Structure formats: C-alpha cells, structure tokens
Chains A and B, each alone.
Chain A
C-alpha cells in the first residue's frame, strides 16, 4: 500500500509561470514532510521541508503548503525556470520512526522556455 502518493507522473509548465506539484498521504503518524529534486543519473537533492505543526514554509521561489485535515501537501515554484526541470519526490517521516523516509513515485516537471 502506498502511504505517499503523487498522482501526477508528469507536469509541463511555461517558464515564468507557477508550478504546483501535489502529494497526498494516508498515514496520520507522519509529522515531517520533505521535497527532493532529482536529475537523471544523480541522487535526490533536498529542496524544502515542513513540520506538521506548520501549514506553510517558504524558501525563495519554493513554498510548501500542508493541509493536515486533507492529508495533502503541495510544492509551489514561482517563477518556474528551465533549470527546475527534474523529477520531484515528496517524502514523509513518521513520529517515532527511526527517521527513514517514505517516498512517493515522483512527478517529472518540464519547464519550457
């Protein structure tokens, strides 16, 4: 069973516009959420995170929103740039776990010039 779901395998956005990547989760024990960016043939790179005590975290062009009642989070990138083209993974960690991350399947973002 998939505890972290990214239902859109791909997303295409025009340069300068907003990219919105979505993630749903089922485990109410998750209390920390992270977004990773991954280029081909490289490891994931940490982008931004949010604790369950918050509903928003912002870092430059990247903002993550958390809606606990809906068990939903989203990553907003604005303005989108061609260099943002990559696969984005949503990940979660559960309270009381040893810190291992549960990943979604990823969304491939293409930002067109």
Chain B
C-alpha cells in the first residue's frame, strides 16, 4: 500500500508564474489536508478537502491560492502569480475517515519544496 504521494518534490518558479502541486492520498483515503512549512517554522494548516468538496479553507490566503480534490485524480494546490514569500515546503496529508470518526493521525506525504526566484 503506497503512502501519500506528492509531486513534484522540488519546484522552482519565477515571480509571477503559477505553481501547481499535486497530492495523491493513500489508497482508500478520501480526506486530504494541505499544510505549509515556512523556514524555521512548524507546519501551518491551509485547507481540508474531501472528494469534490472544500470542507475548511480557513488557513488559505485569500488571494492567489486555491485547492481542489476532484472525483478522479489527485488533489491540486494551485498558487497563482507566485511571490518570494511563497517559498516553502508544502505537505499534503490524508486520512481514511472524517475527523469526528477518526480523531486520528494524518499520514503525510514527503512534501513539495517550492522555491520562487
């Protein structure tokens, strides 16, 4: 059973370009969380999605950031018009059950390290 997959592992963008980060949850998991880790910081929650639904996006910046988890395919975190401050490691996590049934650990992918030049 493969773990959470994220690609690309490293992504370099110039200011103003778009960044697309992909996350494939573990098999059987339909709940996906995105976190961002800035240098020397802990992980910060961004968004929680179920298939075709955004459940909680309270941690997402209001502009330039969007996320989706379509019925088929991976979850995508999209950052438009990137700026240097977007440089960070972006981690995706998945879980098999909704939080109220599984107050449980989330399984993390290896992360995508975004560098904005």
Tell whether A pairs with B.
Answer: yes
Please give the residue numbers on chain A whose beta carbons come within 8 Å of chain B beta carbons, in ascending order: 4, 6, 32, 34, 36, 41-46, 49, 51, 89, 91, 93, 97-106
Residue of A nearest to B4 (CB): A43
Q: Which of B40, B103, B108 contacts A45 (CB 8 A)?
A: B108
Contact A104 B42 (CB under 8 A): yes
Measured CB to CB, the closest approach of chain A to B49, in angstroms, equals 10
Contact B59 A100 (CB under 8 A): yes
Tell me the B9-66 residues at the A interface (CB within 8 Å).
31, 33, 35, 40-45, 48, 55-56, 58-59
B105 within 8 A of A: yes
How far apart are the CA atoms of A97 and B48 in the complex, in Å? 11
Give the chain B neighbours of A102 by CB distance below 8 A.
45
Residue of A nearest to B99 (CB): A99
